[in-house]
Amino acid sequence: MRVLIQRVAQAEVTVAGRSTGRISAGLLVLVCAMQGDDTEVARKLAGRVARLRIFRDDQGRMNRSVQDSGGAALVVSQFTLAADTRSGNRPGFSTAAAPDEGERLYLAFAQALREQGLQVETGEFGADMQVTLVNDGPVTIWMDTAERG
C-alpha cells in the first residue's frame, strides 16, 4: 500500500457538492492499495500512520503522534498514487489493486485507524472528489509498504 500523509490544520472532502468527511487538526491520508496487498498490510500501515510522530511537542519538535495530539484522520482513496511515470507522458496505473480489492483494503485501512482510537472521516471510493486542506507546516510524508521489505 502507498499513502501520502499531510499534517493539516483542517481538511474536507466533497462529492458533488456534498461533504463526505471533514476534520480539524489531524492527518489527511491519501491511500492506494497495490496489487498483492492484503488486510494485514492495511492494518500494519494504519498502525504506523497512527503512531507517526509528526506533531509538535511543547518544545516545538515533531515528537507526538496524531494519537498523542488528539487529532483526527481524513482518509481518501487515491489510485493515482500507483502512477508509473517511467516512460512516456501518460502515467500507467496497472500496479494498483483492482477496484473491488482496492475498496476493500481502503475500508480496512480506515477501520484499522479507528481501532487505533482515532476519529476517522472518509471520502467516497471511486467518486470524483474535491479535497480542500490547510497543510500545517507544511508536513507531507510518503509511505510505501513495498519499501519495507
Q: pLDDT tens digit string along 18-73?
A: 999 999 999 999 999 999 999 999 999 999 999 999 999 999 999 999 999 999 99
User: Cα–Cα distances in Å, from 18 out to 21, 99, 130?
Assistant: 9, 23, 10
Tell me the C-alpha distance between 114 and 57, whole Å. Answer: 23
Catalytic choice (6, 55, 78, 125): 78
User: For 81-112, what is each residue's pLDDT tens digit?
Assistant: 999 999 999 999 999 999 999 999 999 999 99
Tell me the C-alpha distance between 4 and 110, whole Å. Answer: 14
Tell me the C-alpha distance between 65 and 47, whole Å. Answer: 11
For 51, phi then psi, to 5°, come to -95, -5
| 148 has a pLDDT exceeding 90 | no
Catalytic choice (6, 55, 79, 109): 79
Q: Is 125 a catalytic residue?
A: no
Q: Where are the domains of the chain?
A: 2-85+92-135
Catalytic choice (80, 130, 132, 140): 80
Q: Does domain 2-85+92-135 have CATH number 3.50.80.10?
A: yes
Long-range contacts of 82-89 (CB under 8 A, 24+ apart): 82/2, 82/32, 82/34
